[in-house]
Amino acid sequence: MKELWCVMDWAVPGLFGSRVHFQKQFSDPVEHGQRHTATKRELATGRKAMCRLAEKMSGWFLRRTKALIQDQLPRKEDRMVYCALTDFQKAVYQTVLETEDVTLILQSSQPCTCSSGRKRRNCCYKTNSHGETVKTLYLSYLTVLQKVANHVALLQAASTSRHQETLTKRICEQVFSRFPGFVQKSRDAAFETLSDPKYSGKMKVLQQLLNHFRKSRDKVLLFSFSTKLLDVLQQYCMASGLDFRRLDGSTKSEERLRIVKEFNSTHDVNICLVSTMAGGLGLNFVGANVVILFDPTWNPANDLQAIDRYSTDKSKRGALLPILEIQWWCKSAMNNCVPTNSLF
């Protein structure tokens, strides 16, 4: 919203008034209304603010949307499915919150204990015991909590960056010391552990959905931003005996075309696992009638592009096109970022 004010104030100076006025009249009400914990009053206030904002911009902002060709598109049904964490996930999640680093993060805005009047992160508590600054820990631990919310086993997967891998290894030593049974099972039976829905609330819900779609012979596109999570979903499909295809950034161009063709034309292949960034553009799965966003991205535009990979041909699947979006949810305020961002 701040970026919108900056652009419009540059293009049409004074249209929204001062930045403080814009934040009070539009930005804050809209953002409060987008939270999943929003009250009915906040929802109503947010919608009114959006309408006022759209009306104010209408004379200066030219926009072309799907509404222009709506009669040519199949009807779509959007759903948001909130998934509670399993008991094991809750235990691991709480253990992460009780670590020294997270405690340091949560207390970073409090006044320093040295009575200097400055915040802890700017005074005596700038770094943790490993010399890492509080600022560098924010996103790292948010990523860790997101992994726990998706599937606990993701913590044991190799990370893309050396820093993240070192951090994850340190967290695993602290967290999984309380759950030796899980660690041993992961070593002895990694396949069964990854494919077991009891380690992920989202997997439990997904299991029910896929069983339903399998019986009704629906064609499902299952998107995930994390390729490590795609590995978990692949293990689950293999363990469940589901016929599926997978498409991610490592898939060669000729293979991509073959996978899309097989998914669209083969009745036995009802599931396609797709990386959001690799499959969100340039592909048309005209045989699909269900899209599941299992792991939303930080940028809602990427998810919207992924949703648009479904069929645009009414003759393929009929008029009804359900689009189901699965997002993780838990009570921690640190986990509100992605769902709130994606609800817009």
pLDDT one-digit tens code per residue, 93-138: 888 888 888 889 989 889 998 988 889 888 998 888 888 888 888 8
Q: How many CB atoms lie within 10 A of CB 246?
A: 21
CB contact at 8 A, 232 and 257: no
List the single range of 140-154, 156-170, 243-257 with lowest mean pLDDT.
156-170
Question: What whole-number percentage of the chain has pLDDT above 90?
Answer: 12
Query: In the chain, what are the domains?
Result: 2-57 (no CATH), 74-84+200-342 (3.40.50.300), 87-195 (no CATH)
Residue 164: burial class (beta carbons within 10 Å; 0-12, 13-18, 19+): middle
d(C-alpha 54, C-alpha 7), whole Å: 15
| Residue that wins the pLDDT comparison between 40 and 157 | 40
d(C-alpha 34, C-alpha 45), whole Å: 11
- In one-letter notation, the amino acid at residue 104 is L
| Residue that wins the pLDDT comparison between 184 and 199 | 199
Identify which of 125, 103, 104 has the alpha carbon closest to the alpha carbon of residue 114. Answer: 125
Residue 271, strand partner residues: 220, 244
pLDDT one-digit tens code per residue, 65-100: 777 777 776 667 777 777 888 888 888 888 888 888
d(C-alpha 122, C-alpha 94), whole Å: 27
In eight-state DSSP terms, residue 111 is B
Q: Is 80 exceeded by the pLDDT of residue 182?
A: no
pLDDT one-digit tens code per residue, 190-244: 656 666 777 888 888 888 889 988 888 888 889 888 888 898 899 888 888 888 9
Q: Is 70 exceeded by the pLDDT of residue 188?
A: no
CA distances from 20 to 16, 174, 259, 290, 314 (A): 10, 44, 51, 42, 47
CA distances from 106 to 112, 117, 120, 141, 328 (A): 13, 18, 10, 11, 22
CA distances from 151 to 27, 145, 199 (A): 34, 10, 6
Q: Report the pLDDT value the prediction gives residue 335, as an integer from 0 to 100.
A: 45
- Sequence-distant (6+) residues with CB within 8 A of 20 are none
| Residue that wins the pLDDT comparison between 226 and 184 | 226
Q: What are the start-end ranges of the H helices in the chain? A: 2-11, 19-22, 28-34, 40-57, 87-97, 100-106, 134-150, 162-175, 180-188, 190-195, 201-215, 227-240, 253-265, 276-279, 300-307, 314-317, 337-342
pLDDT one-digit tens code per residue, 296-330: 887 888 888 777 766 544 444 443 444 555 554 44
Identify which of 342, 314, 259, 340 has the alpha carbon closest to the alpha carbon of residue 35. Answer: 340
d(C-alpha 49, C-alpha 53), whole Å: 6
Q: Report the pLDDT value the prediction gives residue 239, as an integer from 0 to 100.
A: 85
